[in-house]
Amino acid sequence: MNWAQEEVRMADLGDKRLNARLGLVLGQLSQKPQLSIPVACGGWAETLGAYRFFDNSKATFENVLASHCAATKERMAACPLVLLAQDTTEDDQCVCFGPKGLGTLKETEKHARRLHPTIAFTPDRICLGVVKAAYWSRDCPSPRQKRRSKGIDEKESRHWIESYQDSCALQGQLPHTQVVNLADREGDIYEWYVEYDSYAPQTRADWIVRAAQNRCVQTGESAKLWQTLAQAPVLGTLEVEVKARPNRAARLAQVTVRATTVSLQPPTRPGYHLPEITVNAVLAREDTPSPGVEALEWLLLTSLPVSTFEQTATVVAWYAVRWCIEVYFHVLKNGCQIERLQLETEERLLPCLALYMIIAWRVLFTLMLGRACPELDCEVIFETKEWQAAYIVVKRCPPPPIPPQLGEIVALIASFGGYLGRKHDGPPGPKTMWIGLQRLRDFVIALEAREALDMRCV
């Protein structure tokens, strides 16, 4: 049983043959995630089987992801702490009307679509998998005043709260695992904080949200959130790794940390009244940035304790793991090329998207497990023929009788994607990993063909 079949072993699509097809198509797409579906499948019969799977009414987005989500839950149960990062990403589609006989090739229409997954990570940034995902087509933009008159259940903002509700459900099912939900500034929703107070202590998950709104604070005087935190005493200083972005180099930022507990004034909502709530807040600010560099500043609201410097440092460190979901989106969009999928209807697209979400998890899981636990046996992740093929191609010698360590094989596979492994290069990145895994499959096929040829010659 390969990794794809093992990952979807709990699949229940209502048909044993459909369950088997799920594992087969997942394995095929994972071999060539950057290429088209026919290339990945490797033949007309296999391609036809994949398209028939996407056309099957039982193979929905939720059903295809369900078995992976169940496997993710099993991995979470083995961890004392799990950080659930959630975010929304675009998956827009431009439809050309020329081939449909409705216009010229230049006439296109943009369909706005959004994907909002919740991804589980360990504090060491090992990706455990997808917990849940929502996918929807965005309606035409409505005026700001009209949006303000809607309830939270009528807005896209509800997906952030639903993700937290799912986290609480998992916390109740995993009593020996601490679950913490992470969100960026889009998750700064007052109803979320009210939701936290509505759960029993033993079933509610913790949370860390980066503040976006400079809310009013109940202090007896007119005060705002940022002003209140800026006046709090300094608890200590931290080094925060700032990731590289276009036109911005990676660096280490020296930030001072302040923390306090604040009572927030509830915002006005049409038709109902929200209660006042008390939350903990941490302000991590770079007071003396380098010339020409934008100062780093995080104001984090959380349910976690922040009484000591060690506690606030933990909040900052855990929130930094939220960046891993951006890396996940990078793998999903650029490694799996989901924005290039041409499946005509959403009914076909969604089960295919669910499969690529599992593949993106596999790439990150392999990469980060190799970083966090390089001393593990490589057969924890790779089949015997896979690591042997990588070893033979790179080392140009027969593979050893004992499987090498995981870190060594991950580096060998990443070298197929351009990783040089020089002294100051650092560990492999996701791009070298997904390219390396794709090329590895070709080497395995060549190794199997050579073994078959040798058997015929005997």
The per-residue pLDDT for 100 is 53
pLDDT beyond 70 at 93: no
- Tell me if 366 sits within 8 A of 40, measured CB to CB: no
Give the side-chain half-sphere CA count within 13 A for 333.
14
pLDDT tens for each residue of 280-301: 999 999 888 878 788 889 999 9
What pLDDT does 249 receive? 76
Residues forming beta bridges with residue 272, ordered by sequence position = 269
Q: Considering only CA atoms, which of 192, 134, 196 is closest in space to residue 161?
A: 192
Confidence class of residue 82 from pLDDT cuts 50, 70 and 90? very high
**The pLDDT value given to residue 18:** 93
Q: Using one digit for the tens of pLDDT, what is the confidence trace for 6-53?
A: 999 999 998 899 999 999 999 999 988 888 888 888 888 989 999 999
Instruction: Report whether 245 contacts 224 (CB < 8 A).
Output: no
Give the residue among 158, 137, 139 at the shortest CA–CA distance from 347.
137
- The pLDDT of residue 148 is above 70: no
Q: Percent of the chain having pLDDT more than 70?
A: 92
Q: Are 299 and 184 in contact (CB under 8 A)?
A: no
Q: What is the pLDDT of residue 241?
A: 79
Would the CA dihedral through 438, 439, 444, 445 be positive or negative? positive
Supply the pTM of this predicted model: 0.91
Q: How far apart are CA 379 and CA 370, in angstroms?
A: 12
SS3 state at 298 = strand
Q: Torsions phi, psi of 218, nearest 5? A: -80, 95
- Position 186 scores a pLDDT of 93
pLDDT at 103: 52
Structure tokens at 101: 């006989």
Residue 375 to residue 26: CA distance in whole angstroms? 28
Does the pLDDT of residue 406 top 60, yes or no?
yes
What is the average pLDDT value for the chain, to the nearest integer? 88
pLDDT at 108 over 90: no
Furthest C-alpha separation in the chain: 90
Q: What is the pLDDT of residues 188-204, one digit of tens each?
A: 999 999 999 888 888 89
401/186 Cα distance (integer angstroms): 52
Quick one: angle between helices 384-395 and 406-415, nearest 10? 60
For the segment 217-230, what is each residue's pLDDT rounded down to a tens digit?
Answer: 986 566 899 999 99
Closest to 240 measured CA to CA, from 323, 122, 331: 323
Q: Which two tokens stand for residue 322?
A: 């939220």
Give kind and range of the element (H or E) at residue 223. strand 222-224
pLDDT over threshold 70, residue 262: yes
